[in-house]
Structure 1
Amino acid sequence: MRILLRASKALLRERVHHTRLSLHRCSEELYKIHLQLSSSLNATDWDKIEKITYFTSQNVEITARKTQIKKFDKLQNRQHPSDQHLRDRSVVNLTERVLDDATTSVLSKGHNFAIAPRNLPMERIITEVESAIRKLPKDDAAEIREDVSHILRTAKPPKQNLSAAEREALSKLKSDESLIILRADKGNATVLMTRKDYNEKISQLLDDPAYQQLKSNPTTRIERQVKELIKRSSIPQETQRNLIPRAAKPPRLYGLPKIHKEGVPLRPIVSQIETGYLATWGRETDKQTPAGAVALAGSRGGDGGEADLTKGAGVPSSWRRQT
């Protein structure tokens, strides 16, 4: 990309230099013609010709300038389009709060926007790497540690992609416990609503008789039963270590606003990310999975349907849907 940019700039400089050289030659040629005509014509005829040519050249210059400015503006708008109309469509404010430009700008970036860190999260990277290589052979794990260590020693933080005003607006949104930020059910928009309204809509969903509140969380008991079933099976030991759930969490319910419907109801989403590895393995090996193990095979919840700004929006884990 950098090579292409440098080549484009070099070609543009060459084109500008060639155009200026052509203009200089035209000026010299016009000056010679001017001297020839002024010496061969009388004063009256020369004054008329000079006025005609001058006004004609002025009209041609004005027309050409307007055309070039129009082309430039069109090209600039195509390469750097104004995102004000996009912001209006990508941010849905369901609160009574008036959003300033910085807040609207940071919300319009969407939930998939990755904020460039000011400092590299060394500890987090090392922890994640250690978690990923803990089941690898010692020699392979040591080689990966060495490579990661070399990369971290030479790595530099990425270029900042938020302005100071946007960072301040984001900080205020995070610290405001009365607000919640969600992804819209459709339309790829960011929805800002009050936590009170969100909780009321979630409660309305849970009023359905299809749900019941459990007296206690059965996750630990089911996790233990699944672990015993896996160990008693004929599954290879290496595969068993990957299938046995560790620190399992039950699926989590949250809602996505349906901004295209009246009243903006919530679409219930049950997050089961990384809880289906056992079922996936069962489909791949064409074997039946132990009953109740599908929802326990993972060790972490959350499927990216909500951003960090939601600050744990959801319902108590004691609520479960009846089967």
Structure 2
Amino acid sequence: MWTVLDAMTHSRAENIGTQTAKRQEHKLTNLIKHIYPHKSLKVATKSTEAVTVVNLSSKELSEDTVSVLSRGLNFAPTPRRIPVEDIITNIENTIFRNKIPHGDADCLRQDVSTLLRKSPLPKSNITLKEVSALRELRNDESLLVLPADKGNATVVVDTEAYEHKITQMVGDTSVYCKVSYNPTSRVTTKVNKLLHIIGDKELVAQLRPLNPTPPKIYGLPKIHKSNWPLRPIVSQIDAPTYKLSRHLATLLQPHTGKTSSYVRDSRHFVELLEGIQLQDTDIMVSFDITSLFTNVPVDEVIQIITTLLGGTTLPTGYVESITYCLKSGYFLWRGDFYLQIDGVAMGSPLAPVVANIFMEWFEEKALESANVKPRYWWRYVDDIFAVVARDSLKDLTSHLNRVHAKIEVTIEEEKEGKLPFLDVLVIREPNGRVTHTVYRKPTHTDRYLRADSHHHPSHLSSVPRTLLNRALALCDHDYVNAELRWLAWQSWRYGRDGAARPAVPHPLGTTLPAQVRLATILWLKQS
């Protein structure tokens, strides 16, 4: 009986998944055609898959190139040879760090040596034509392959167009200032001086910058907007302030999230929604801050942090360290160095917590001075969900845009009784009750780490398990069945392709796709 039910559910889930994927593909394709009417876009799709590769370049991509790119930028091809030298080096480092006794270390070396001699190469997970396509793409300096800003699509752009956009971006003198010197040594010297404040020698040794390199800027294309503007990211890994900034962020984090409006994540938001009742005169809206990170007023946020830490036991010198990390932002672009005049760089470990601290101050000031108070107001960093009276919405929006000169607030109103927030779709029922389900943007690809990627099995099995847990957490009883049907089809997609894709073991002893379909059956039986 279970075999028959499993087959029936698999078929139903596949049909529902196909229809949903086609709707998403149609929405994104129409959106892109509307945004880019001047050129013919090469959007790679399959009949049952959403858009995964968006070609914004001037070149046609071969089928093999599209095929390998559609696997995702996190897809790992199987190695052409076993990396013996790397494995031995890592083993020796592990022996040294953990101070393994000589006898045990020799046994470990012998076991590893035996395994390396007997281990065959894994079967290739891409074709020879795809290998050739990857090689050609890697050698083509006129093209760049980037992740989309949102949705996990793979975007192909002309290198010249991309570099032109970055150059235009860093030329904004209100945000960046070009300098004729390399600030790295100067910043490194200052960081080493600031580390003396900490006092803990072991911690200082961990935070001290070793062989630092300049931060580097790059951009993620916003494919859902006209002319694909870039979201600037400054990679600060190995930068002089990176380790110190990360440490300071961990110290600041416990001082945030104590307001009644704080939303920890999507699951927390769903918990907050329980029991709310909307009135006919209410409207659900979401507010968003335009380019929050680059518009955070650094001098003001330092004053806020100084007040925030005033009642703590942290040394006062920590404020000096925070100030320097926020004000010493710089990056390298095409051989030139730029200082960031104001705002915080996306990519800095301090950026999220500092932005959150500023937004807590902003919303407190905004709500205290507002003539009209929202019935509900919840915030995740710069994304705000609110329920307000329809006739007061315009006044509230205008008020929010007057609170601070650098902060611009945009608004999205509910449509047909539905409003997305984070990855939750909030749905108004006729009786004023609120329900919710998983939300996917039109740019969402439903593309996750594939089961044939050369990753550890624990990483592979975590993908569908995480999706299942999300479905059960974010969907109420009215919508969980549809989401589980969709998830069962996605899990079938995730584990199809026959022998080329190994089954992913589940802790309960079954393959995870079948486990998800079983969960669907159980939920269907309850309804």
For the aligned pair, the TM-score class normalised by the smaller chain equals 0.5 to 0.7
Is structure 2 residue 187 aligned with structure 1 residue 211?
no
2:73 pairs with 92, 98, 111, which one? 111
Offset of residue 246 of structure 1: 0.4
Q: Do structure 1's residue 278 and structure 2's residue 244 form an aligned pair?
A: yes
Separation in 1, partners of 2:180, 2:333:
19
Q: Which has the higher strand share?
A: 2
- Please report how far the alpha carbon of residue 243 of structure 1 lies from its aligned counterpart in structure 2 after TM superposition: 1.1
Quick one: structure 1 residues 178 and 283, their matched pair in 2 at CA, closer, same or farther if it must change by over 3 Å? closer
Moved more, 169-178 or 142-151: 142-151
Q: Which residue of 1 aligns with 2:55?
A: 93
- Where in structure 2 are there 5+ consecutive unaligned residues? 22-44, 252-313, 327-331, 343-527
1:269 matched residue in structure 2: 233
Q: CA deviation at 1:317?
A: 5.5
Q: CA deviation at 1:142?
A: 9.1
Equivalence for 2:165: 201
Q: Any idea what SS the aligned residue of 1:193 has?
A: strand
Please report how far the alpha carbon of residue 130 of structure 1 lies from its aligned counterpart in structure 2 after TM superposition. 5.7
Aligned partner of 1:318 in structure 2 is: 337
Query: For 1:190 and 1:167, how far apart are their aligned partners in 2?
Result: 18
Q: Corresponding residue for 2:112?
A: 151
- Does the 8 Å CA contact 2:52/2:153 hold for their aligned counterparts? yes
The alpha-carbon deviation at position 186 of structure 1 amounts to 1.4
Aligned: 1:246 with 2:246 = no
Superposition deviation, residue 269 in structure 1: 1.2
AA aligned opposite 2:233: I
CA distance in structure 2 between the aligned counterparts of 1:159 and 1:132, rounded to whole angstroms: 29
2-side partners of 1:120 and 1:268: how far apart?
A: 37
CA-to-aligned-CA distance 1:203-254 (integer Å, 9 cap, x gap): 1111211212111111122213322442x44523222221111011232210
- Of structures 1 and 2, the one with the larger relative CO (CA 8 A, separation 6+) is 2
Q: 1:284 to 1:174 in 2, by over 3 A?
A: closer
1:169 partnered with 2:133: yes
| Match status 1:290 vs 2:254 | no
C-alpha contact (below 8 Å) 2:245/2:325 kept by paired residues: yes
Secondary structure, in 3 states, of the residue corresponding to 1:117?
A: coil
Task: Answer yes or no: is 1:220 the counterpart of 2:185.
Answer: yes
Separation in structure 2 between the aligned mates of residue 199 and residue 175 of structure 1, nearest angstrom: 18
How far off is 1:278 after superposition? Answer: 2.1
Alpha carbons 1:178, 1:196 under 8 Å: kept: yes
| Whole-angstrom distance in 2 between the partners of 1:284 and 1:142 | 40
Q: Distance in 1 between matches of 2:56 and 2:165?
A: 13
Aligned pair count reads: 237
Q: 1:181 aligns with which of 135, 145, 153?
A: 145
Q: Counterpart in 2 of 1:124?
A: 86
In structure 1, give the amino acid aligned to 2:57.
T
Change (3 A) 1:118 1:226: same
For residues 114 and 139 of structure 1, the distance between their equivalents in structure 2, rounded to whole angstroms, comes to 32
Per-residue displacement from partner, 1:232-289 (whole Å, max 9, x unpaired)?
A: 4452322222111101123221011111011111111112346643234345565517
Q: Percent identity?
A: 34
| Per-residue deviation, residues 123-170 of structure 1 (Å, max 9, x unmatched) | 334445666776x36447996786477336414333321111111100
> 1:87, 1:104 within 8 Å by CA — same for their partners in 2?
no
Q: Secondary structure at the match of 1:181?
A: strand
Partners of 1:212 and 1:259 in 2: how far apart? 28
Tell me, in whole angstroms, the C-alpha distance in 2 between the residues paired with 1:146 and 1:320. 53
Write the mapping of 1:297-316 to structure 2, written as runs, cut at 5 A. Answer: 315-316=334-335
- Alpha-carbon distance in 2 for matches of 1:291, 1:141: 45
Please state how far the C-alpha of 1:77 moved relative to its aligned partner.
6.5
Contact 2:208–2:243 under 8 Å retained in 1: no
Shift, 1:191, TM fit: 0.6
Whether the aligned pair in 1 keeps the contact of 2:245 and 2:322 (CA below 8 Å) is no
Aligned partner letter, 1:102: D
Higher helix share: 1
- Larger of the two Rg values belongs to structure: 1
Contact between 1:222 and 1:292, CA under 8 Å: does it hold in 2?
A: no
Amino acid at match of 1:290: S
Classify 1:96/1:137 alpha carbon distance in 2 versus 1 (closer, same or farther; 3 Å): closer
